[in-house]
Amino acid sequence: MIKIKDQIYWVGVKDWEIKRFHGEEYSTHRGSTYNSYLVRDQKIALVDTVWTPFHEGFVEELEREVGLKNISLVVVNHTEQDHAGSLAYLMERIPDVPIYCTKNGAMMIKKHFHRDWNFNVVKTGDSVELGESRLVFVEMTMLHWPDSMATYVAGANVLLSNDAFGQHYVSPHLFNDQVDQGELYQEAVKYYANILTPFSRLVKAKLKEILDLNLSIEMIAPSHGIIWRDNPLQIVQKYDQWAGDFNEGTVAVIYDTMWGATRKMALAIARGLENKGVGAKLLNVGKSDKNDIITEVFKARGVIVGSSTINKGILNSTAALLEMIKGLQFKNKLGASFGSYGWSGESVKIIQESLKESGIEVVQEGIKMQYDPEPKDLKACEAFGEAFAGRL
């Protein structure tokens, strides 16, 4: 248990081992944390729990530190298992303690745990007094689940924001001023790109709503990673920027290749982009982490995707990435496709159609080459890259 401010304590878990999150969907190169908080006033509130595999140690620690019978209420900001996974084990020991959550939260807890506990359904602006401090609830619907909510601790002026503003990042430290800023922001933008991109319009509106509440925010404590205590609004400003069709002006040239021909095309296209002063990032999707590639797509203004043709289709690595791109609904991106083939040559068209379905504006016809490209073919790829640069 670590005091973070006034009556607020971190009682979370640091998970140094986790390398894949959301099943296998999200790579966590730097581990993660499941941040749970105690507000210890005349009443004691527990805000969120930790992921299911850690439930026993978590509950034992609460018993040792404060005594479970002294917990007056439990706040469930979000019912996903990484935060609510220890709830059943905890509530078996304190079954009558009220649970504060949104209406969707109560429904989802029942669907997950098949139990009917003492639910206190709250909406934005509702509050509960703990003594000197007061919890104020702010619904965060679809950021990123229908049940999501943040809890503001008035008095301490701390926003317990749950997933929003989090990062999958474990460190010996707890606060943003103690860690490497490059690592911190790499994990924060990866988190936004891979989880929050589809909800960017809602993020914009919600940030405005929070700022319009005129809360004094001295600390933002999310449910993953580092707590923002030094200039905490810096991450709110970053979210505002990221939610606004953000890009850094680069082009992600993403490809996979069977015998190297599509790779040669990718290099030539990148050369063409660079001829025109555009920064190209070459990303072999067969060899790279897909969540890292998605982060580069998020930062890019243009996305050029290539694959060899196989069995009248595309390589499975590329297909998986295109499916991720489709789901994330990026805005304000330009795209194109390329690829080599032997005899049928469907890949370029398939990629092009997928980009269009993803809301990416395809600005030029794709380019395909049969078997291994000759120097003149690579010149054509270079010109393809130059033409794309001209559309940015």
Catalogue the active-site residues: 22, 78, 80, 82, 144, 163, 191, 224
Number of Cα atoms under 13 Å in the Cβ half of residue 2: 13
Of 222 and 272, the one with the shorter C-beta distance to ligand FEO is 222
Angstrom distance (rounded) from CA 239 to CA 31: 22
Of 80 and 296, the one with the shorter C-beta distance to ligand FEO is 80
> Least distance in Å: CB of 83 to ligand FEO?
6
Binding map of ligand FEO across residues 207-236, x = CB under 6 A, - = no contact: ----------------xx------------
Nearest to 280 by CA among 248, 314, 237, 317: 248
Assess 82 for contact with ligand FEO (CB under 6 A).
yes
Rule CB under 6 A: choose which of 41, 163, 296, 382 binds ligand FEO: 163
- In 3-state terms, what secondary structure has residue 288? coil
Number of Cα atoms under 13 Å in the Cβ half of residue 215: 29
Nearest to 54 by CA among 3, 4, 18: 18
Binding to ligand FEO, residues 337-356 (CB under 6 A): none
Binding to ligand FEO, residues 113-152 (CB under 6 A): 144-145
**Contact window for ligand FEO (CB under 6 A) among 78-86, 175-183, 296-304, 362-370:** 78-86
- In 3-state terms, what secondary structure has residue 20? strand
Of 105 and 155, the one with the shorter C-beta distance to ligand FEO is 105
Nearest to 190 by CA among 53, 289, 263, 47: 289
Of 6 and 187, the one with the shorter C-beta distance to ligand FEO is 187
Range list of β-strands (E), 41-154: 44-47, 71-75, 99-101, 119-121, 127-129, 134-139, 149-154
DSSP track, 85-102: TTHHHHHHHSTTS-EEE-
Q: State the residue for tokens 């809602």.
A: 202
Assess 168 for contact with ligand FEO (CB under 6 A).
no
> Least distance in Å: CB of 238 to ligand FEO?
19
Of 148 and 337, the one with the shorter C-beta distance to ligand FEO is 148
**Contact window for ligand FEO (CB under 6 A) among 58-66, 77-85, 273-281, 335-343:** 77-85
Binding site for ligand FEO (CB under 6 A): 78, 80, 82-83, 144-145, 163, 223-224
